[in-house]
Amino acid sequence: MTLTQVLYALAVARYLNFSRAADSLFVSQPALSLQIKNLEKELGYDLFARTPHGILLTELGEEFCRDAQAVADQWAAFQNKVLSEDQDRCRRLRIGLGARVYSNRLFEEIAHFFDAHPDIEVTFITEAGQDFFAPMREGKLDVAIDRLPPVQLIPDWGGFVSWPLIRERQCILMAESDPRSDLPGMTFQDLQGCAVITGLENSMEDRTLKQECRDFGVTLNRIYRSDGIETDMKLLRKGMGVIIGPESFADYYHVAAVPLVPEVMVSLDFICLKKNANRPEIAALRKQLAKVCKDRA
């Protein structure tokens, strides 16, 4: 017995006419009749009596339909609940924003988008060094706009998709009073023995730093950790360490930026799960930001 057969039987009981019941279900009459016949065969009794004057419910058919109506009502309530939740999700966006969004003056553009779409409820998550990928996998976050870390650090990367918005030089950030601030460039090896400021242990920012140190064979003297970009910058301006970050941080946070050599370009990306990429509000936000960034280039 299938739910489809139950719903078909209830439709025939409602109309007492196979043709009208089939029309209401948008199926052919032969297909409906076959399903009812198979259901009656499985039950071992007739639900309907075929008479010269039309279709009538049998006594057992009436009992079956009374019980089946409760199942149909529960199914309809379940469908309404699921569809309502899905529509609610489609009107809500939870967006993870990396610090590069602010240093590249993109937050204003994002705010303008939601001003123009008051039907979409938005929540911003802005923790420094936040691993946005786990919350996206778990359905707790819809979009991340941040630096795309090395893909080897992202489990199940194949389930995600990303679009670059802005590309900029990666730099060694330091206090403006640092004597190295006038250098035309620094290599990653120049960090050997330095103190570096980064995110909390095992954050995406921290794991990215560790991966880069392994790649270049660099051993750091000390690591200062913080979960807030403002704290990071206060430590930096006090000369307590350096930060590996984008060129746009220099002007925005009033620090010095010495480009890495050879040049390393890092992009600010729009990232989401592949299955969510075509949600209308996500696609609309991505296209708007892509247009803004293209116009600026």
* Domains, the chain, ordered by start: 3-87 (1.10.10.10), 92-296 (3.40.190.290)
Give residue 58's pLDDT band: very low, low, confident or very high (50, 70, 90). very high
Average pLDDT over residues 157-185: 94
Distance between CA 8 and CA 40 in Å, rounded?
A: 12
Residue with tokens 């430590």, as numbered in its chain: 235
- For 115, residues 6+ apart whose C-beta sits below 8 A from its C-beta are none
- For 269, residues 6+ apart whose C-beta sits below 8 A from its C-beta are 144, 145, 146, 147, 148, 162, 163, 164, 165
Average pLDDT over residues 119-123: 91
Whether 95 contacts 144, CB under 8 Å: yes
Instruction: Sort residue 207 into left (φ over 0), alpha (ψ -120 to 50) or beta.
Output: alpha
Q: What is the pLDDT of residue 247?
A: 95
Q: What is the pLDDT of residue 84?
A: 61
Residue 207 has pLDDT above 90, yes or no: no
Q: What is the pLDDT of residue 211?
A: 86
Q: What is the pLDDT of residue 184?
A: 96
**278 φ, ψ to 5°?**
-100, 5
Q: What is the pLDDT of residue 158?
A: 85
Whether 200 contacts 232, CB under 8 Å: no
pLDDT-wise least confident of 173-182, 198-207, 232-241: 198-207
Q: What is the pLDDT of residues 39-53, one digit of tens each?
A: 999 999 999 998 888
Beta bridge partner(s), residue 94? 123
For a pLDDT cut of 90, what percent of the chain falls above it? 63
Whether 152 contacts 276, CB under 8 Å: no
Distance between CA 149 and CA 151 in Å, rounded?
A: 6
Q: What is the pLDDT of residue 106?
A: 95
Strands (E), the chain: 48-51, 54-57, 92-97, 121-125, 143-147, 160-174, 195-198, 222-225, 243-246, 256-259, 265-273
Q: pTM score > 0.75 for this model?
A: no
Q: What is the pLDDT of residue 252?
A: 95
Q: What is the pLDDT of residue 235?
A: 95
For a pLDDT cut of 70, what percent of the chain falls above it? 96
Residue 89 has pLDDT above 70, yes or no: no
Q: What is the pLDDT of residues 139-159, one digit of tens each?
A: 889 999 998 877 777 777 888
Residue with tokens 């006038």, as numbered in its chain: 182
Give residue 130's pLDDT band: very low, low, confident or very high (50, 70, 90). low
Distance between CA 101 and CA 270 in Å, rounded?
A: 10
Q: What is the pLDDT of residue 119?
A: 86
DSSP reduced 3-state for 18: helix
Distance between CA 92 and CA 124 in Å, rounded?
A: 11
3-state SS string for 151-215: HHHCCCHHHEEEEEEEEEEEEEEECCCCHHHHCCCECHHHHCCCEEEECCCCCHHHHHHHHHHHH
